[in-house]
Amino acid sequence: MTAELRPDQRLGWLPLVWVLLFCTWLFGVPMLVLESAFSMPFMGVPTAADYAERDMLAMWAKIVAVGVPFLGVLLAAITRRTAAAAVFVTLLLLSLAVIGYHRAYDARHNPTPVPTPEQRACQEHSGGDNRCPGG
């Protein structure tokens, strides 16, 4: 004979999952951001590997910042828990706002270099007029 669990007892582990997701977002994202910020050497010239490591850590910070709240929203939607959904939607919107601000800040303060026009060699052709400058 098996004991039938009440609906409130079936998902007793679910609040623990939400607490773990929240703590991952709360502590994991700042840890990755700080690690990214301080990954460059203090003395000497940074190498391409240093820049690659910094960019990889920043990418993982963005993935965790968006992925963890998205997972929380998905889990809350599946289990129909509105309070948890509201918390994780707020975290997701906050993460997206910070990432959007960071992208806008980067675009404004680190513009992409404008390519210089190529110097084209002027070649004269026989049988026609000379269209080369100075010719």
CA-to-CA separations, 40 to 48, 54, 127, in angstroms, rounded = 10, 7, 61
Q: What's residue 120's pLDDT?
A: 66
Three-point CA angle 120, 125, 131, nearest 5°: 60
pTM (two decimals) = 0.69
pLDDT tens profile 93-118: 999 999 999 888 888 888 777 777 77
Nearest to 62 by CA among 88, 95, 86: 95
Q: Please give the sequence-ordered ranges of beta strands (E in DSSP) within 1-135, or none if there are none.
A: none
pLDDT digits (tens, 9 = 90+) for 53-84: 989 999 999 999 999 999 999 999 988 889 98
23-57 pLDDT, tens digit per residue, is 999 999 999 999 998 888 888 888 888 889 989 99
